[in-house]
Each structure stands twice: as C-alpha cells, then as structure tokens.
Structure 1
C-alpha cells in the first residue's frame, strides 16, 4: 500500500530533473563565457595591431613608441604576460615571410641565385628574409603580435585544457613614400 503511494507521488520529480539539467547547463555557460572572452581579446588585439601599424607606416613614430602603444591597449589582458611584438620589413609584398631563394623551395641549389633582402651578406637557409624593424620609405612591414593571458574561467584543469590562452594577430602594410625606397640588392649565386 505504501509502495503504491510512493510510486505515484511525483512531487519531488522536478527537483531531480533540475539536478540533471543544471550541471551541464552551468558548464556550457562557463565554456561560452571563456570562449567569448577569448574572442573579445582577439578583436581587441586585431584592432590595436591595425591602429599601431597605421601609426608606424606614417613614419613619425619610433618602434619603441609603437610597442608602448600596443602594450597600453592590451594591458587588460597582459597583466601577467607581456605581448610579443614582431616587426619585419621587406622590399616587396612577394617577399613577406618567404625564404630568400629564387624558386622559394627553401634550398639554395648550385646554379640558383638568391636575393639578400635583409642585407646580412649570406643566404638564410630558407628562413624568413625580412629585416627586423619598421624598414624605410615604401617598404612592406609585416607586424605580428602574440598575446598570452590567463583564462577567464578556471575551468581548464577540469577539462584538461591549458590554464592560459594565446591569441595572435598580424597585418601587412606598406610604409608611406616619404623618401626614396632603397634599391633591392642584385641576385647572388648560391654557394
């Protein structure tokens, strides 16, 4: 008799059902907050990089001033880790982040020539051929900023994720023609 009454009694069913739903719902919301914060950091970083690159291409700012501008704009995220800022200049767009060899296969073969874009007097073994810094008039500048920051929600250790998040933004711009661009060096035969 008492067993039948208990089987038909549904007064506590709602609280049990809510217990099954609330945990996955909270986890989903926390993951969405964390993902949203990462997307916000990416958008702030990209906007900051584009403004900094524009300031640099005008030619009236020093590399230190540009770096300080970027650091001031992303200070909300970079309290623990400073942003990594990389600037490389190139003579032309086709050389951006490419090796120096003629056929761009990363190997300086006998009889092949290469253009020493960074003017260091040697072939750079297939690595990036740009000059460090902002370059000169009419040069192409490739900016990369990497920002590492702690996750917003301390959910990482439960999910097996890293406790930090990393976002990267880059852009390529041509410096203003405020002077004559340096001449591209002549091709050099491979050793």
Structure 2
C-alpha cells in the first residue's frame, strides 16, 4: 500500500511534464479563430473587388447615358453594367438601377421646397410646396424619374445585393447578404435646349 501511495506523486509529476498531444489541443483553441480570420479577409477582399468593378462599370455607363443616344440605349447600358458585375459575383446576385434627373447640380439630393407653417419638420397639413418633379406629391429628393432631357443633371445609381461567399454570418452575426451601392452624377450633353424648370405649387396632404 505504501509503495502504491509513493508511486502516485511520481505518476502525477510525469503526467504534468508530458507534452504529447499538446499541439492538437492548442490547434483546437487557435484553429477556429485563424480560419475565421482568413475567411473574413477573403470576404472583405472580394467585397472590395466587386465594389471596384461596380464603380468602374458605372463611370463608363454614366458617360454613355448622357449622350443623345442614351435615351434609346438605357436598357443596353444597364445590361452592360449587370454583365460586368455578374462576372465577379456569386449566384443569386441582383442588380437594381435608379435614374433621377435634375435641372441643375444644386438640386441633387435636395428635398422639394415647402413652407413649414406648423414647424414640425414635415410637409403636411395642407402646407404649400414646389412640386419640382411634377408627380403631385412632396418628395425628400426633388429628382424626376428617368434621365431627363438635354443639359439635365442625371444621378445614375446601381445597387448590388448578393449572398456572402463564406458563411461568416452564421458565426459572427453578420448579414447573410452583401449590399453595395454605386452612383455617378453627370450632366446630359447639350444636344438641345434644356426644358424650363417646373415651379408648380401644390399642397401637402
């Protein structure tokens, strides 16, 4: 019995000094974090590359859209952007376009003017406003749908949504989809006289 008792401390000391299999234990702790970091880097790199391709395609498409021929080639121009971006995106990606025309650069991203009679920061209660885009309602962006006419300023925007190439969203709570937006603002070529600015005054509901 005494001999067995004296052997126990020795066995415990040998066990404490034993390093067999420690690499597997360390990798089990470090491996998942390392793999997650690598996938995250690849995911960010792919997003940046896709964004670069999208911005490049939009710049070329925007210039084509401002030509006089752009009025009849809108669907072709959109398709070219979609094809270029689709080449670097995974399956299931969607591309949507928005085109808003303005009378001048100073109108871009500006709300329609209105008189805030009740000082509540909203156009309501029959308050008068200038219907710049002539759609019979007050808008936070006074741009008019479409590419307008000669000399008009066009904001051409594309929004790309696609599923992530790595399943990071399930591990660290990221969104399942990536959404990228690119836009370009250019003035249409002076191939004709510019239409007059609309100054119709209406009332908010």
Q: Same fold (TM over 0.5)?
A: yes
In the other structure, the counterpart of 2:83 is 72
Offset of 1:98 from its aligned partner? 2.4
In the other structure, the counterpart of 2:185 is 172
Corresponding residue SS for 2:78 = helix
- Contact preservation (8 Å) 1:78, 1:148: no
Asked if 1:119 is matched to 2:119, the reply is: no
Mean CA deviation greater in 85-94 or 101-110: 101-110
1:109–1:99: structure 2 CA closer, same or farther, 3 Å change rule? farther
Asked if 1:139 is matched to 2:148, the reply is: no
What's the TM-score once normalised by structure 2's chain length?
A: 0.79
Unaligned ranges ≥5, structure 2: 1-9
Unaligned ranges ≥5, structure 1: none
What's the TM-score once normalised by structure 1's chain length?
A: 0.84
Q: How far apart, CA to CA, are the structure 2 residues paired with 1:190 and 1:155?
A: 49
Offset of 1:169 from its aligned partner? 1.1
In the other structure, the counterpart of 1:55 is 64
In the other structure, the counterpart of 2:40 is 31
Rg larger in 1 or in 2? Answer: 2
Mean CA deviation greater in 15-24 or 38-47: 15-24
In the other structure, the counterpart of 1:96 is 108
1:13–1:157: structure 2 CA closer, same or farther, 3 Å change rule? closer
Q: How far apart, CA to CA, are the structure 1 residues paired with 2:86 and 2:191?
A: 32
Corresponding residue SS for 2:28 = helix
The total of aligned residue pairs comes to 188
Asked if 1:20 is matched to 2:29, the reply is: yes
